[in-house]
Amino acid sequence: MDNIEKKQLSGKMITMIIIGIFVLAFLVFYSILSAMAPARKLAEIKAGIIGLQQSSESNKDDRYYSDSAFIKLTKEKAFLQARTSMAETDSVYMTLNIPDSTAKLGISGVEVHSAKISGMKISKILRSGNEYLISELFSSPMNIESDLATIKKEPLMIKMAPKDTSEFKPDIIPDTTDYEPVSYILEMDNGVRIFICQDADTITSDKNQLFFFDLSDRLKNTWSSLKSIARFKVPEYHPFIKIRLPKADAKILYRAIPRQGQIAVYI
Amino acid sequence: MEEDDKITSSPESGEVPKPDMPLPASSENVLKTSESFFQKVRENEKLLKLIRITLGSIVSIVIVLFIAIFVLYLVPALQEVISGQKTEFKVNPELKKDKNYLKQIALLTKDIQRLSKKYSSYTSGQSYIVINTTDNRFFLYKNKKLIREGFCSSGSYTMLKTESEKKWIFKTPKGKYWIQGKITSPVWRRPDWSFVEEGLPIPSENDPSRWEYGVLGDYAMSIGDGYLIHGTLYKRFLGMPVTHGCVRLNDEDLEAIYNTLSIGSKVYIF
């Protein structure tokens, strides 16, 4: 009796150990492929920019890319180029100036709103990657491909028309209380993701909602990474810019920028 | 030990007790004690099993949580630790003398000057108005300086639907517009939705019931597509999104804006 129990127990143990080894091996494999993703993204950016430069017959020396004066001017030109391009349209656009800590809205070259960035976190490949490549990446405006938010872009209310005058009720004062926490993610066409979140002065229910919003985004990304890894492919890496703004400003920026709007970044 | 000896043999009498013989009182006590002991052991086994299952579940939950935290938080953090190779700026005196380098710097400087000039030319030196529809505020500029600001009312984001699936969305358009017309003592021509909204039958195009006097204030400025900047009777709603798409202002602000802006002046709405 004891022997049978012992055998069952050792069988269970072996199964557990095998599962454990598989899980561990998968985690290691997942980590390695995920860690390779940023380098691959940087290589993609490099390939794209070099391709463009070759087609425009650039005669730049490699030494220029480690010259601070050259890089500073290149960055400045890239930002101006992107803003000028956006100003040629009549839509609302956004500019993020990281060294100045400002997020601005503009229409046709006129600055219509400015907000102070109170906190930021930037992807390492954007912050301390090859500066020349990054300035080239931002030399044209980025287009918003999709967005995910805790608030509605257009808070549309549906009202059924009364059948006759007896059903008519005059409009009541609208509820303008700010009860929703503001956090959103703008996914750009070049793979960059811009996270904008309200300042830290949040109540507990807001914190919970923001946590679940962040968690749902992480789950979505992890799921897409898992799908890539299951096919033995390096998962897609999205460089990010995370900024914190006062709640009112964060809301204004989100509601003002069109769904397929443009953004220029100066890092 | 003495008690045990008593059960198996009786040294005093030298007799071995028979099974059907009644046991002495002390032996019965021992039997009861041992039975309760085995009962406790059996109960403890159940308890142990329960503890084992609970511990197993806790360990499984901890493992799953660890995997989730690892995959959701640690791996993205790991990506940030590993990635990136910072550009190392080098002081190269030879480069500063290089003709091609100097040419490139001059080109870049020229491009920056050209782009800056172009970009600043977009900001009109003329008067213009900026309308913030999220906060329902306006900002009036003259010679690139803010000269007046205050509350306004913009579109309510209401969708009015009829049973026949006809619908109207009341929102203020965003982007760049310009003053296309200026009117004093404007008269409101009520559109179809104004009747539908009140449950009234829609009258003919030129029906007198369509004309309403004194509801738009003293002035109105048209920005195209039927949208106006005008006054209001409902001043308590200023600063709130309550209109059918037009921009409402109080009397003083409306007059100041009317006098500052001319036909062609830009209106920036966001």
N-terminal to C-terminal alpha carbon distance within chain B: 96
Could you say which of A39, A107, A252 has the minimum Cβ distance to residue B176? A107
CB contact under 8 A, A64 and B101: yes
Residues B155 and B183 in one domain: yes
Residues B61 and B114 in one domain: no
Residues B140 and B241 in one domain: yes
Model ipTM value: 0.86
CB contact under 8 A, A35 and B162: no
Residue B9, domain member (yes or no): no
- Asked if residue B103 has pLDDT above 80, the reply is yes
Residues B139 and B218 in one domain: yes
- Identify the residue with better confidence: A82 or B12: A82
- Asked if residue B4 has pLDDT above 60, the reply is no
CB contact under 8 A, A162 and B198: yes
Say how far apart CA B187 and CA B215 lie, in whole Å: 8
Q: CATH assignment of A2-155+180-266? A: 2.40.440.10
pLDDT, tens digit (0-9, with 9 covering 90-100), for A101-134: 999 999 999 999 999 999 999 998 888 777 888 8
At residue B243, the pLDDT reads 96
Which tokens in the block code for residue A23? 């899980």
Residues B66 and B168 in one domain: no
CB contact under 8 A, B116 and A80: yes
- Count of A–B CB contacts within 8 Å? 213
Residues B43 and B140 in one domain: no
Chain B neighbors of A63, CB-CB under 8 A: 90, 92, 95, 101
Q: Which domain holds residue B152?
A: 128-269
Residues B261 and B142 in one domain: yes
Residue B88, domain member (yes or no): no
CB contact under 8 A, A27 and B70: yes
Whole-prediction pTM: 0.83
SS3 assignment for chain A: CHHHHHHHHHHHHHHHHHHHHHHHHHHHHHHHHHHHHHHHHHHHHHHHHHHHHHHCCCCCCHHHHHCHHHHHHHHHHHHHHHHHHHHCCCCEEEEEECCCCEEEEEECCEEEEEEECCEEEECHHHHCCCHHHHHHHCCCCEEEEEEEECCCCCCCEEEECCCCHHHCCCCCCCCCCCCCCCEEEEEECCCCEEEEEECCCCCHHHHHHHHHHHHHHHHHHHHHHHHHHHCCCCCCCCCEEEEEECHHHHHHHHHHCCCCCEEEEEC
Residues B118 and B132 in one domain: no
Could you say which of A23, A108, A222 has the minimum Cβ distance to residue B72? A222
Could you say which of B120, B241, B270 has the minimum Cβ distance to residue A174? B241
Residues B143 and B97 in one domain: no
Identify the weakest region by mean pLDDT among A83-87, A201-205, B152-156.
A201-205
**Domains in chain B: how many in total?**
3
Residues B148 and B216 in one domain: yes
Residues B32 and B59 in one domain: yes
CATH code for the domain of B169: 2.40.440.10
Q: What is the mean pLDDT of residues A241-266?
A: 96
Say how far apart CA B185 and CA B206 lie, in whole Å: 20
Chain B neighbors of A110, CB-CB under 8 A: 122-124, 128, 130, 266, 268
pLDDT, tens digit (0-9, with 9 covering 90-100), for A43-70: 888 887 766 666 555 566 777 877 888 8
At residue A254, the pLDDT reads 97
Residue B136, domain member (yes or no): yes
At residue B43, the pLDDT reads 76
Q: Which of residues 153-212 of A touch B (CB under 8 A)?
A: 154-168, 171, 173-174, 176
Q: Is A119 on the interface with B (CB under 8 A)?
A: no
Chain B neighbors of A37, CB-CB under 8 A: 79
Chain A neighbors of B237, CB-CB under 8 A: 173
Residues B31 and B118 in one domain: no
